[in-house]
Amino acid sequence: MGRIIWFCVISTLLSSTFASCCPSHCSCFLDTRGRNAVECRQGGLNGTLSLDGMDASMEVLRITAPEDNLNALTMNPTIQSYKRLEEIHITRSNIPNLGTHFFWGLDKLEILNLSQNNITQPLDHNFRGLQSLKELYLDDNKIYSLPSGTFRYLINLATLSIQRNRMHELMPRVFQQLERLQVLKLSGNSLVKLNPEIFKDLKALSILECRGCALTEMDPEIYSLLPYLTHLDLGDNNISKLNSKEFKYLTDLKSLNLDGNRVSSISNSMFSQQTQLEALSLARNELSVLSPSSFTNLKNLTELDLSYNKLEHVDATLLKPIEAKLNRLILSGNHIPIGEIRDLLWRNKVLRTLEIADCGLTEITEFVLPEKLTVLVLAGNYLSTLSPEVLPNTLSQLDLSRNHFRGLSEEMMQRIDSITTLKLDSNPWTCDLCHIIPLLSRVNRTDVFSLKCASPYHYVNRLLGSLHKDQLNWCTAPSYTSSDANYYLTVDDSKIGIIAASASVALLVLIIFAVLAAFLYSKRHAAKYYTHEEKRTDERESIFENQSPLFGEELSFKFPMEASEKKVAIATIDEIKNHALSNGT
């Protein structure tokens, strides 16, 4: 342990003799670009970084450590004698502040990665002599301040990353001399406000990231100083107001992330200059209404993320101006009625990815889904059946997880066989002969093999892959009966032999379930007068194909929670019905 011990092997090859040295717990090799690389990843190194006896031709040095065996190193000025170094990565090594003129003479150094150390305040002379440096990474240190001109000797720097440090403000002229800087990443510093002054030196900046910077607004002057910006990420901040001309100077913008803020409205002209924009994320904001012309000028948009907002309606013409290129649309986590989603995407032939997870959908009818779709996410809805005709033929990825499926039909499975990525987990799979046979015959798919039964009782959490058809019982949950009396009759008629054989324990459990469910059911009815419970229950019964309200979907210990989820679902049905009525469809 302790210092690095270097092993040198003297080899004789034909007439020439050369020495290749390698530290004891490092590896030395030619990297993919044919450079001499030294890599030490074992960790546990402490004291001054020792480079004694190291081959002078080293071009790439990489020292890091596993999470449970971090290094505790201080830098060693002798590194200056390795004049051929092009990359230095010393990470997870608890390096404290750097010394004066530390990298002096390393004219070829292009990449310096000092992430995950204990640097608190870099100073300009730390970087003196690195005139070729193109990329500097200081992520995950404890930098609390950067004096003006910190990077002024790095005249060729193109990428500067100081993410997840402890800065609260940036000094004026902190980026002095960084005229060639293209990429600036400041995410994860609680900067609250960005002073336009600091951007005056960054004439070439094209990528700016400040996620999680606790920003409440952006001074419009900043944008006027950054006309070449192509990528702007202001996600996970606290921005609530966007000026109606907020982005007017950013005419080259290709991607804009505003996800995770508190934006509640988008003015019509907000994106009027962003004809180059390809990806826009407004996910996790507070949008409740979008004007039909919100995106009119975004002719080059291929990706639009509006997920987890408060949208309850979308205008059917919202996507018309941009539908020629729109490839990926994410509407998850809103409560837009399925009829409006259909109208929004009507006859769309371009869309490839559609995500409508957590949208309270209870059914997907024909003609809703665009015909060329390859990726469809329907996770977290209330679907219990899905007809194969609904799914586009081009589909290659389908996510039906977190729904209410108890089984899938053979027709559905045949349709799904060609889908390469399938997610079916977290559904109440009912492992009996009525529901699970088509799935069970596909357990050689790993995505089916690992599904878990939710019922019957004795197969709860059993992997589908560990079940054999012969082990299945007749239908334990009465999907096809409508009254309690019939339920018991069904049990008596068809299961009498099995019950006798598997002792009366199962029956006892069923009775307890019945009593519990009946109790909760009556409680729900007692609360009818201030909700529309009656109506909902009626509709619910018709929707779930006459399943018993007692022993249908909700036969589970999670009953109270499921009931509240249901209300959302049912509200959506109401809306669908109303919508359908008003549309006369």
Query: Could you give the string, one character per residue 311-350, with x where binding to ligand NAG holds by CB under 6 A and - elsewhere?
Result: ----------------------------------------
Among 444, 522, 564, 585, binds ligand NAG (CB under 6 A): 444
Q: Using an 8 Å Cβ cutoff, are 407 and 430 in contact?
A: yes
Asked if residue 2 binds ligand NAG (CB under 6 A), the reply is: yes
Q: Using an 8 Å Cβ cutoff, are 399 and 423 in contact?
A: yes
Q: Using an 8 Å Cβ cutoff, are 469 and 444 in contact?
A: no
Nearest to 41 by CA among 78, 2, 90, 88: 90
**Percent helix, percent strand, percent coil in the chain, to nearest 5:** 25, 15, 60
The CB-of-69 to ligand NAG minimum distance in angstroms stands at 11
The CB-of-262 to ligand NAG minimum distance in angstroms stands at 7
Binding segment (CB under 6 A) for ligand NAG, from list 109-117, 421-429, 473-481, 485-493: 109-117
Asked if residue 249 binds ligand NAG (CB under 6 A), the reply is: no
Asked if residue 1 binds ligand NAG (CB under 6 A), the reply is: yes
Binding segment (CB under 6 A) for ligand NAG, from list 108-116, 148-156, 452-460, 519-527: 108-116
Among 36, 71, 93, 116, binds ligand NAG (CB under 6 A): 116
**Mapped to the 3 state alphabet, what secondary structure does 249-292 carry?**
CCCCCCEEECCCCCCCCCCCCCCCCCCCCCEEECCCCCCCCCCC
Instruction: List, in order, residues 6 or more apart from 62 with CB less than 8 Å away.
Output: 37, 38, 39, 40, 41, 87, 89
Judged by CB, which is closer to ligand NAG: 91, or 150? 91
Query: Could you give the string, one character per residue 200-239, with x where binding to ligand NAG holds by CB under 6 A and - elsewhere?
Result: --------------x-x---------------------x-
* Run of H or E residues at 520: helix 505-526
Type of residue at 347: R
Question: How is residue 353 written in tokens?
Answer: 């990815």
Binding segment (CB under 6 A) for ligand NAG, from list 31-39, 110-118, 477-485, 551-559: 110-118
Binding segment (CB under 6 A) for ligand NAG, from list 115-123, 333-341, 363-371, 384-392: 115-123
In a 10 Å sphere around its CB, with 0-12 CB exposed, 13-18 middle and 19+ buried, how is residue 240 labelled? middle
The CB-of-237 to ligand NAG minimum distance in angstroms stands at 8
Judged by CB, which is closer to ligand NAG: 113, or 281? 113
Q: Using an 8 Å Cβ cutoff, are 460 and 477 in contact?
A: no
56 φψ region: left (φ > 0), alpha (ψ -120 to 50), beta (else): alpha
> In angstroms, how far is CA 342 from the centroid of its own chain?
26
The CB-of-485 to ligand NAG minimum distance in angstroms stands at 42
Instruction: List, in order, residues 6 or more apart from 533 with CB less than 8 Å away.
Output: 524, 525, 527
Query: Could you give the string, one character per residue 70-89, with x where binding to ligand NAG holds by CB under 6 A and - elsewhere?
Result: --x----------------x
Angle value at C-alpha 529, between 520 and 531, nearest 5 degrees: 80
* Run of H or E residues at 428: none
Among 42, 80, 131, 275, binds ligand NAG (CB under 6 A): 275
The CB-of-137 to ligand NAG minimum distance in angstroms stands at 5
The CB-of-245 to ligand NAG minimum distance in angstroms stands at 19
Site for ligand NAG in 136-165 (CB under 6 A): 137
Site for ligand NAG in 14-53 (CB under 6 A): 46-47
Map tokens 């009912």 to a residue. Answer: 430
Judged by CB, which is closer to ligand NAG: 47, or 147? 47
The CB-of-450 to ligand NAG minimum distance in angstroms stands at 14
Judged by CB, which is closer to ligand NAG: 276, or 426? 276
Type of residue at 43: G
Q: How many CB atoms lie within 10 A of CB 215?
A: 19
2 to each of 21, 47, 93, how far by Cα in Å? 18, 7, 13
Among 118, 414, 450, 494, binds ligand NAG (CB under 6 A): 118
Site for ligand NAG in 381-440 (CB under 6 A): none
Question: How is residue 540 written in tokens?
Answer: 């619910």
Question: How is residue 153 written in tokens?
Answer: 């000797």
The Cα–Cα gap between 383 and 401 comes to 10
Among 36, 71, 93, 115, binds ligand NAG (CB under 6 A): 115
Judged by CB, which is closer to ligand NAG: 46, or 269? 46
- Give the binding-site size for ligand NAG (rule: CB under 6 A): 25
The Cα–Cα gap between 569 and 585 comes to 21
Nearest to 94 by CA among 48, 28, 126: 48
Among 36, 91, 294, 307, binds ligand NAG (CB under 6 A): 91
Judged by CB, which is closer to ligand NAG: 187, or 473? 187
Question: How is residue 63 written in tokens?
Answer: 């020292």
Judged by CB, which is closer to ligand NAG: 17, or 444? 444
Main-chain dihedrals φ then ψ at residue 567, nearest 5 degrees? -55, -40
Which residues form the interface with ligand NAG (CB under 6 A)? 1-2, 46-47, 64, 72, 89, 91, 94, 96, 113, 115-116, 118, 120, 137, 214, 216, 238, 275-276, 299-300, 444-445
